[in-house]
Amino acid sequence: MLKSTFIPLKVSVLSISDTRTIENDISGNLLANKVVDAGHILLKRALCNDSIYAVRAIVSNWIADEENQVIITTGGTGVTGRDGTPEAMQPLFDKTLDGFGEIFRYLSFLDIKTSSLQSRALAGVANSTYIFVLPGSKNACKLAWDQIISQQLNIQTKPCNLAQLTDRLDEK
């Protein structure tokens, strides 16, 4: 039976950057505010350097915390030498949500045309926690939240959503 009453999820936001601070992190702060404005609980908020191992260490700790239901990262998804967030995250995934990256790049293409091919945004599930890996730009984070993530984290979205599956992610 589908629940029709909104259920807040516990969401953590991690920004990956060598140059930003929490205070001037426009993308991370935008996501944190959108999480709260949507009625979810902002469980954790952090920033770390653009290092595969630093990212993996924080996210590994967060997915080990049973309280965390959703992790959103921003930054490090491009193609330059320091961009390693997808490489940090993929080994942690139990399952990959391929449709997220495909839909994100399609929606991004509508706005920025072929520049969208540079995005390596992705999503997956690790230890019963949804993980969304977003680019570091404010517009990319806004697009991902407004057009994909917010709807999938809302149990009222029909015909189906990720929120309704949270209790079943650890089924064997």
Task: Name all domains of the chain by residue range, CATH numbers in brackets.
Answer: 10-167 (3.40.980.10)
pLDDT in tens, 100-130: 999 999 999 999 999 999 999 999 999 999 9
Does pTM top 0.85 for this prediction? Answer: yes
Distance between alpha carbon 123 and the CA centroid of its chain, in Å?
7
Residue 149 in tokens = 């993530």
pLDDT value of residue 3: 52
Spatial contact of 155 and 3, defined as CB atoms under 8 Å apart: yes
pLDDT interval class at 4 (50, 70, 90): confident
Q: What is the mean pLDDT of residues 15-25?
A: 95
Distance from CA of residue 50 to its chain's centroid?
16
Q: Which residue, 85, 87, 77, is CA-closest to 140?
A: 77
The amino acid sitting at 88 is: A
